[in-house]
Structure 1
Amino acid sequence: MRMALSAAMLILLPVCCLLCAGSWAATLSELGDTILGQDTFTDVANFSTFLLDRSSGMLFLGARDAILAVDTNKMNQPPHKIIWDVPEEKRKSCVAKGKTEVDCNNYIRLLEFLPGRRIYVCGTYAFDPQCAFLELSSFSLEKAEDGGVKMETGKGKCPFEPSQHYTAVMADGLLYTAATSNFLGTLFDISRATGPEQERIRTEQSINWLSDPEFVSSAFIAESAERNPSGDDDKIYFFFTEVAKEYDLYTKVKVPRVARVCKSDLGGMKTLQRRWTTFLKAQLVCEDKPSGQRYNILTDVFTMKHTPGDPSSTHFYGLFTSQWENEELSAVCVFSLSDISKVMDGPFKERKKTCETWINPEPVPTPRPGQCLNSALKAEGFESSLKLPDKVLTFVRDHPLMENSVNAAPLLVRKGIRYTKLAVTLTGNGDERRGTLLHLGTDHGELHRVAVVSQNATLLQEIPLFKPQEPVNNILLHKGRALVGSPLSLARVQAEGCDLYPSCEVCARARGLGCVWSTKEEACRLSTAEPGPGDVVDVALRKCQTEEGRCTPSIRELRVSLGLRLLLPCIQLSPRPCSWEHPPHRHTRQHHSDLEVTVTSESVGKYVCTCQEGGPGIIDPTPCRRAAYQLTLEGPTAGTMAAAGGRHVLAIYILFFCVGFLLGVFLLLFVTRRRSISNHGHHLPDNSLSSEKGRDLLGSSATPQSPSSASLLSEGFRLTEKRNGTATTTTTTTFLSSPGNGGPHSNSYSGALSNSNSSNGHRNSLYGNCNRSSSGLKFTSEILAADMLDGRTGERERVRHDGEERESGEGDEVDEGLGDGIGEGIQGLEEEIARFPMFKSPAPLAKCEESSI
């Protein structure tokens, strides 16, 4: 019957998988979403770079040894492909330099538009970065005179290694990059990488400028003529994480930074020749002040203008994690361009030569070091950075770091999940801005959507897009859709609109974004009516066919069994802590906001998770219930069944032991009777000889003998064995030795008749033969004799306490004779059994002992 059920399950499982896949595909098609995987891209993988032509909707993807073009409006069409690989001899040379064959390919890391409908393409090219030009009209790489691909060096424009952190941005036809500049990856530059040779400038090779940075993102902010009466220069911003030199601690402290350079910077005339004269950097602080938690590792930045056409409304949404947390953690903070500009215009930080403290330098020369050119400076005769005084250039060379930091509080904090990419959508228009929708990609191929309204963050959706081993590495927003990429796949999903939320509960959670549930249409629709006072999400949830609110969740009943370990989720997006109410007698452990429970008879009951959150217009956190569970035992429990099964196994072991003991006694009596019949008429041996044998048997069982002894107790059944510096104590006999392979489970020793392992990776096959010799029976005889002698000794002591010398003497004589008879009987048993071929030793005992030593 079980075999029939198993066969039925094997047949039904693929059918269910196909039905689930079909259902998922149908859901995607209804939403207009599409996922392209390896079936579409065939042998092309390692997508790392996205470039979108927003006018045509054509998406260009940089991959390993290839460039692809996908029409996002017609994703069912096969993509266009260009192969740009590395010659075999160059690949072999790369491997000969110590690099792996996988890394010695051409990974496309840069795709940027150029004038004349061309794309500038750069790849690692087997640790020798090269750049080429892609013609969009023919979708092909420009050819050189010899017919090969027309290439130019990519050093300073593209990283050498595929996994190195890197960012680049195009500003008015010129490329600005932040990358490594040598083969070993030990030199870092922020540079203007294209344009006239004399105008290509970079950072100073100084740890005060860049200290082991990990570049994350870059942005070009062009000043509009209407909103720039001072004629200020355009600026390029770079975001990265580096090792802080201003902290003198026992460990390396990483800090997130924002650096700024000016587009018209040409370097200095004598000081800072072909170096930035406007390079300034400041620390980004993403910190929850009530808890003191700071997130100091920057992983991604999304740049957007809150007001279209107004560069001053630019905000940078940063994705952070923490250097000090051992487990996964993600936080989102937003920094405004105006706050960054204020810090860049503030005081400088300086370290004196005579001490290790940082102070504010005085005085600051004029014109202000690091300042971008504007109309006022040009009127004073500083038309170019080449005309700046040396004292200004010397000051900015020695003081690139600002005293103040750019501070922000986290919009959300998610523990137990690592977000890799971030994109942002704003809801509402202009001054009627309602909230922010965060699109977050995870390292397990999921897309999460979080609504942020005022100080409240609400998780709306968790959409699995790719396989768990495919992290999201790109998110682009275009015409209400999100283009999400992984190293192997591409997805297009809807990103805007209330129809994203298919149920009343999810729509209610998006009420702050202007969404309401229409009972007539059974759909989520956008509402122009302003939300009323109070918690709009809680009110909207009560309108659904449930009494559950955002802070009044319904109690979920879970039927559990004894011994079960389960994790009770409590999703918390605020940086404030969560606490659990549970029965007093419990076995629990909190993982971030979730709670792990081991079910016992005392741990059943009610579990409630309460988190601290901020409300609209409220600075102080307020308690909010996020989850409630009722654990109820179900019967019969799996733990009881397991315990019953364990008792059955123990009973079987005891039964086998008793049967074996009875067989042994029967065999002993049989051999003793046979010996007595063959030697009938003989008297007991001499008392002195029997006494000597009794002492020998007692000693062999009480004290381990020397290596020359044939006792299995001293040689083959050591109670304590030291392997790899660890003492292992054996307290019970193992009846079947495991088929070891040299691991920790192959150190068990079997009993007298066990099946020993002959080859366990430690070359002790002869040692196993020693266990199978006739000395194995010696161990059994010694134990039996010792038990009998212990009983006899007790009888002797009782007689002596009675004070009867005559009876004592007779008892000694009878006991010694009995011990001698039993000893000879056991010896006869050994001889009789040793005649059987299965108990004969394959080698002499001395040789076995020598091998075991």
Structure 2
Amino acid sequence: MTPGGAMLLILLPVLFLLSGVSWAATVSELEDVHNQAKVLDPEKFEGVSNFSTFLLERSSGVLFLGARDAILSMDTNELDKPPRKIIWDVPEDKRASCVAKGKTEVDCHNYIRLLEFLGDGRIYVCGTYAFDPQCAFLELSSFTLEKTEDGGVRMETGKGKCPFEPSQHYTAVMAGGILYTAATSNFLGTLFDISRATGTEQERIRTERSINWLSDPEFVSSAFIEQSADSNPTGDDDKIYFFFTEVAKEYDLYTKVKVPRVARVCKSDVGGMKTLQRRWTTFLKAQLVCEDKPSGQRYNILTDVFTMQHTQGDPSSTHFYGLFTSQWEREELSAVCVFSLSDISKVLDGPFKELKKNCENWINPEPVPTPRPGQCLNTALKAEGFESSLKLPDKVLTFVRDHPLMENSVTAAPLLVRKGISYTKLAVNQRGSGEETRGVVLHLGTDRGELHQVEVVNQNTTLLQEIPLFSPQEPINNILLHKGQALVGSPLSLARVQAEGCALYPNCEVCARARGLGCVWDTEEEACRNTDAKPGPDDTVDDALRKCNIQEARCSPSIRELRVYLGLRLLLPCVQLSPRPCTWEYPPHRHTRQHHSDLGVTVTEESLGKYICTCQEVEPGVRDLIPCRRAAYHLTLTDPEAGETAAMTGNRHVLALYIFFFCGGAALGAFLLYFMKRRHTSGCKGHRLPDNSLSEKGLGSSATPQSPSSASLMSEGFRLTEKRNGTATTNTTTTLLSSQGNGSHHGNSYSGNLIHCNPSNGNGNALYANCNTSSSGLQFAEILAPEMLNGRTGERERELGEGDEVDKELRDGLGEGMKGLEDEFASLPMVKSAAPLARCEESSI
């Protein structure tokens, strides 16, 4: 054992003692989670992991899960029952051939990316099959894959139906028993197609191989909009919509600009006779713009889309809820915009964009021929003799080939903007129907295993709950709504959460915030109940909040008194859900810095006083923005003499502790080094080690690789980790943020498993490798002085009172002593050496 190892043994009890608080918080949080949701243990799946695709049989409640080398079936009504399992893996020789072609062994499995009902008692199943996509048929009655005469799985090629690589973005939808897909179509992943992938050979058509049609797209979602006879008097053809992000070719900029798109094809399209043979003749696309016009912030990366009919049975009432982020923001950012089908149809029926250039000048646009290019077949066109796309004239097909992009964009303002959080999946349910619609509830999955529920009434959003479901290493990649419940999936597990009804809101404050959804708090039963009565002038969210024990309204929070000391760094939280601006009022000084909507403050004599955060909201029938106070604080200086006394006492205790451990560690390390040197000298019969043997085989050596699941405390440095708004942050800045949600790391590592998320309607995935980055030096985080006060649901609030001053000063002294210990260790040569880096997989879904 090296002296560094001896020092590590000495430090372990101290580190375990400090981490005990975090562990206890984690256990408490997990107990709260299981009271709200049914979360399955990953061990229940018997080693099957990497769940990427969900398919629900709504009549029976049976959920089918596509995983790595396996397909599972579970009864969502009885999750305690063990799942049924089908193994569909890749032969060893085929996996070896895949690895020989330069692919990783982890990727050379069969990742099930497609599960779709065929309507004849079977499910169409497709997997990557070691970079050679294959499809099979699953018999529902026997839950087995169809076999050939020799007993093997009956397979057919999956090229064009399923991606080659687990990491590739992908989406598919079944329309009338025919599969429509958007995927890569070659081994290298450089060719992209939106195609009709099944049916007769003559009807299998795809997009033109042109950057004007598809330019390095990342497919997200797809939807089949079927017209009913009653709502379709013109006999218009049914349509399939695809949502994706691609590199824009209409902008002349020095960098690649990504834009979100919606594309449309028609179900009866069979291609052209001469021009566009076996190609779409109805492919049109338009840009989606999710922009907050007052601030000019635009969100241009599409992450997920949820399709919902606002009026059941009326396809024209379809709305698409899009989940966005920004290409230009360095920090995590998520926004939600909603687009109506009618707005998309208007843009696709509008003018075409002219992309051709001549001498760097835009030329005059070509005249639009008749019949209109890209138009779906309807009764009028059939009456003119165009019963099929094969009869369209060449001038129409040539025009649509050269003009797939529309001039106008489909625009919407964001319903929700959250900074510091990365959302991965979105599902929406509506309260009420038709004219009685009260609002919608957004169910948002994060990349850290949390489910957030956000109420949207009129143009105002309210955060209702933040529910931690899985460990921070498990992103949520599937959300399905069924019978008032949300089935939430991660790459390793499954959870069932109550999604509808006022009864899911656990306390008076959350129930009051859901007043716009028709919820009221019953004081006798102490439960949240549903009411059909519409809120009156004296029955608002603010009035409902005042009836709760907190005695404060949504826009008039009570002032939190914070007792601070000079030099303390604070982060005052102010929850901003809408994209409308938030401003701070505070004493005039220069020791503040705004972090998104929160405010960072370094305490000085000039910075004491009141801090008030005010955001803008919209009231029904009122055009102007209404100011709403979201947070209020008052900073007062704690007793300086008590602080100095406590600090000196704490410093003396910490110094004595430091001297004891340092001397003991040095003595033990010297003894072990002497003992090992004597033993090695006798074993080598007099051969001496070179002078640099310690640096070669000691702590700084890379000869001993670290496992990602067991990072070295000396190489990574022990840090107190906290989470704000769903994002883990590790720093030495004392903040006012804490969380009862998933703020404490659960310590779970899944080395050896391929973990991925699914940001595209159950089919597009993103792989998250579980790696630890190492840094030299031992660091101790500053002990938190005042705890955080926050209006967010699921986060703790605690005010520092008079009785906490002594404890606070003791913690301050301990923090300064720890800093001295950190500096002393940083000066040691063994700590300055470069720490070994953990090896991890970089491929991602």
TM-score by length of 1: 0.73
Q: Is 1:24 matched up with 2:25?
A: no
Establish whether residue 265 from structure 1 lines up as the match of residue 269 from structure 2: yes
Please state how far the C-alpha of 1:641 moved relative to its aligned partner: 5.4
What is the CA–CA distance in structure 1 between the aligned matches of 2:542 and 2:444, rounded to whole Å? 24
Which structure 1 segments of 5+ residues have no match? 654-737, 747-754, 763-853
Partner of residue 113 from structure 1, selected from 117, 121, 134: 117
**1:745–1:547 Cα change, 3 Å:** closer
Q: Quote the Cα distance in structure 1 between the aligned partners of 2:366 and 2:513.
A: 54
> C-alpha distance in 1, partners of 2:291/2:71?
41
Contact 2:134-2:155 within 8 A present in 1 as well: yes
Measured after TM superposition, the shift of residue 20 of structure 1 is 2.7
* Separation in structure 2 between the aligned mates of residue 92 and residue 503 of structure 1, nearest angstrom: 57
The CA distance in 2 between the partners of 1:235 and 1:8, in whole Å, is: 60
| Match in the other structure for 1:191 | 195
1:163 aligns with 2:171: no
- Which residue type is aligned with residue 236 of structure 1? I
Cα gap change, 1:588/1:351 in structure 2, threshold over 3 Å: closer, same or farther? same
Is 1:476 equivalent to 2:476 in the alignment?
no
Instruction: Quote the Cα distance in structure 2 between the aligned partners of 1:338 and 1:744.
Output: 58
Q: 1:80-229 alignment to 2 at 5 Å?
A: 80-229=84-233
Taking structure 1 as reference, are residues 518 and 359 closer, same or farther at Cα in structure 2, changes over 3 Å only?
farther
- Please give the alpha-carbon distance, in whole angstroms, between the structure 2 residues aligned to 1:13 and 1:255: 45
Is the contact made by 2:33 and 2:467 (CA closer than 8 Å) also made in structure 1?
no
Higher relative contact order (CA 8 A, sep 6+): 2
Distance 1:169 1:286 in 2: 25
Would you say the 8 A contact 1:562–1:639 is kept in 2? no
Q: Give the match for residue 747 of structure 2.
A: none
Q: Does 1:57 align with 2:61?
A: yes
Separation (CA, whole Å) in 2 of partners of 1:101 and 1:126:
9
Matches for 1:806-817 after TM superposition, within 5 Å: none
Provide the C-alpha distance between the structure 2 equivalents of 1:490 and 1:39, rounded to a whole number of angstroms: 11
Picking from 405, 410, 419, the partner of 1:406 is 410
- Mapped to 2, the partners of 1:587 and 1:189 lie a distance apart of 54
* Mapping 1:574-653, distance limit 5 Å: 574-585=578-589, 587-635=591-639
Deviations 1:389-445 (A, max 9, x none): 000000000000011111111111111111111111111232111111111111111
Q: In the aligned structure 2, how far is the partner of 1:37 from the partner of 1:411? A: 35
Check the 8 A contact 1:360/1:403 in 2, yes or no: no
> Which of 224, 228, 234 is the equivalent residue of 1:230?
234
- Farther-moved stretch of structure 1 (534-543 vs 122-131): 534-543
Matched, 1:36 2:40: yes
Scaled by the length of structure 2, what TM-score is found?
0.74
User: What residue is the counterpart of 1:389 in the other structure?
Assistant: 393
Q: Confirm whether residue 438 of structure 1 aligns to residue 446 of structure 2.
A: no
Q: Distance in 1 between matches of 2:261 and 2:309?
A: 20
1:10 and 1:281 map into 2 onto residues whose CA distance is: 56
Deviation at 1:52, TM superposition (A): 0.4
Q: 392-401 vs 584-593, which deviates more? A: 584-593
In the alignment, which of 373, 376, 385 is matched to residue 377 of structure 2? 373
Aligned to 2:553: 549
SS at match of 1:395: helix
Aligned equivalents of 2:336 and 2:400: distance in 1? 32
Deviation, structure 1 residue 7? 13
- Deviates most, 455-464 or 576-585: 576-585
What's the CA shift string for 1:465-514, capped at 9, x where partnerless? 11111111111000000001111111100000011111111111001111
CA RMSD of aligned residues (A): 3.1
CA-CA distance at 1:109 after TM superposition: 0.6
What's the CA shift for 1:620? Answer: 3.0
Q: Does 1:76 align with 2:80?
A: yes
Match for residue 521 of structure 2 among 514, 517, 538: 517
Deviation for aligned residue 1:757: 6.7
Kept in 1: contact 2:444–2:451 (CA 8 A):
yes
Cα separation, partners in 2 of 1:19 and 1:612, compared to 1, 3 Å: closer
Partners of 1:331 and 1:472 lie apart in 2 by 17
Query: Contact conserved, 1:349 with 1:359, CA < 8 A, in 2?
Result: no
Q: 1:498 aligns with which of 487, 499, 502?
A: 502
What is the DSSP-based 3-state SS (H/G/I as helix, E as strand, rest coil) of the residue aligned with 1:525? strand
Once the two structures are superposed, residues 759-813 of structure 1 have per-residue CA deviations (whole angstroms, 9 ceiling, x without a partner) of: 9979xxxxxxxxxxxxxxxxxxxxxxxxxxxxxxxxxxxxxxxxxxxxxxxxxxx
Q: Which residue in the other structure is 1:769 paired with?
A: none
CA distance in structure 2 between the aligned counterparts of 1:758 and 1:486, rounded to whole angstroms: 41
Aligned to 1:724: none
Q: 1:102 to 1:524 in 2, by over 3 A?
A: same
Deviation at 1:85, TM superposition (A): 1.0
The aligned counterpart of 2:258 is 254
Check 1:149–1:493 CA distance in 2 against 1; reply closer, same or farther (3 A cut).
same
Distance 1:38 1:371, change over 3 A: same
Match of 1:457 in 2: 461
**Partners in 1 of 2:381 and 2:189 — Cα distance?**
39
Aligned-residue sequence identity (percent) comes to 79
Contact preservation (8 Å) 1:210, 1:242: yes
1:358: Cα distance to partner? 5.2
Secondary structure in 1 aligned to 2:77?
coil
Which residue number in structure 2 is paired with residue 564 of structure 1?
568
Secondary structure at the counterpart of residue 251 of structure 1: coil
Does 2:278 correspond to 1:274?
yes
**Structure 1: distance between partners of 2:162 and 2:654:** 66
| Equivalent-residue separation in structure 2 for 1:745 and 1:548 (angstroms) | 47
**Counterparts of 2:388 and 2:338, CA distance in 1:** 34
Q: 1:584 to 1:101 in 2, by over 3 A?
A: same
- Matched letter for residue 59 of structure 2: S
Deviation at 1:637, TM superposition (A): 6.9
Q: Which residue of 2 aligns with 1:328?
A: 332
In the superposition, relative to structure 1, how do residues 87 and 588 fare at CA in structure 2: closer, same or farther (>3 Å)? Answer: same
Q: CA deviation at 1:565?
A: 2.8
Conserved 8 A contact 1:52-1:60:
yes
- Contact between 1:567 and 1:595, CA under 8 Å: does it hold in 2? yes
Query: What's the offset of the Cα at 1:289?
Result: 1.3
**Who is 2:311 aligned against?**
307
Q: Cα offset for 1:618?
A: 2.8
**Corresponding letter in the other structure for 1:490:** L
> Separation in 2 of the partners of 1:11 and 1:270?
71
For residue 100 of structure 1, give the secondary structure of its aligned residue in structure 2.
coil
Structure 2 residue runs without a partner (length 5+): 1-10, 659-714, 716-774, 779-826, 835-845
* CA distance in 2 between partners of 1:511 and 1:90 (Å): 59
Paired residues of 1:240 and 1:256 also in contact (CA < 8 A) = yes
Task: Measure, in 1, the Cα distance between the counterparts of 2:832 and 2:346.
Answer: 71
- The answer on whether the counterparts of 1:456 and 1:616 sit within 8 Å (CA) in structure 2 is no
| One-letter amino acid matched to 2:206 | R
Q: Deviations over 1:296-340 (max 9, x none)?
A: 111000001000000000000001111111111111111100111
User: Residues 699-710 of structure 1: matches in 2 within 5 Å?
Assistant: none
How many angstroms apart in 2 are the aligned matches of 1:543 and 1:435? Answer: 23
Higher mean C-alpha displacement, 626-635 vs 91-100: 626-635
Q: Aligned-pair distance for 1:585?
A: 3.7
- Aligned-pair CA distance for 1:148: 1.1
Q: Distance in 1 between matches of 2:333 and 2:39?
A: 28
1:615-663 deviation per Cα after TM superposition (whole angstroms, max 9, x unaligned):
2233332221101122334456778755787799999x9xxxxxxxxxx
Contact 1:351 1:357 in 2 (8 A): no
Q: Are residues 364 and 564 of structure 1, via their aligned partners in 2, closer, same or farther at CA, if it must alter by over 3 Å?
A: same
Q: Secondary structure at the match of 1:437?
A: strand
How far the C-alpha of 1:242 sits from its partner, in A, is 0.5
SS at match of 2:358: coil
What is the aligned counterpart of 1:296 among 294, 300, 313? 300
For the residue of structure 1 that corresponds to 2:106, the secondary structure is coil
Structure 1 contact 562–640 (Cα < 8 Å) conserved:
no
Within 2, Cα distance between the matches of 1:298 and 1:18? 33
Give 1:542 shift. Answer: 1.4
